[in-house]
A = this chain, B = another copy of it.
Amino acid sequence: MKEKMHSGLRFENSTLDEVDARILTALDADARLPTAELARLVGLSAPSVAERMRRLVNEGVVRAYTVEIDSKALGYQIRAMVRIRPLPGKLHLVERLIQETPQFIECDKITGDVPFLARLVVHSIEEMDDVLESLSEHAVTSTAVIKGTSVKRRLPPL
């Protein structure tokens, strides 16, 4: 517990300096960059960079090093955003159903009259219909097929 409990608003302790920002930017582009190469990029020694990376993970800034998959390349021809409004009393049941349906690869709980917004990947219209059908008894859904991407996932401003 080395948080500074000073005056007022303080929500996180991560004061990213320029070097951290450059490390994160580089890792965002290629998370498998060798630490040694990262070190050359930012002009520090490898142990320093390794230490910073550990710090960023411990602080929770870096939640994970992961892989970005192209679902189309796996045969999932269709991606869609599905808004899901459970029928009265079925909120938790529906949430469980979403979680247990692997074609939902992401689902946020949101404010407003529609509690869930989920990302769906399917091989075909038929599969999409199957998935939505499996919810139809417990929820009203509204589906928007993804036609393309305007902004590819990117880092927030650092």
Contacts and interface: CB of A to CB of B under 8 A. Distances in A.
Interface in A64-78: 64-77
B68 A151 contact: no
Q: What's the dominant secondary structure at chain A's contact region?
A: mixed
A12 B74 contact: yes
20 contacts: A11-B77, A28-B66, A28-B67, A28-B69, A29-B64, A31-B64, A31-B65, A60-B70, A65-B68, A66-B67, A74-B158, A76-B156, A80-B110, A81-B108, A98-B150, A105-B154, A107-B150, A108-B149, A110-B145, A110-B147
Query: What 4 A-B pairs come out closest when comparing CB atoms?
Result: A107-B151, A110-B144, A31-B65, A107-B150
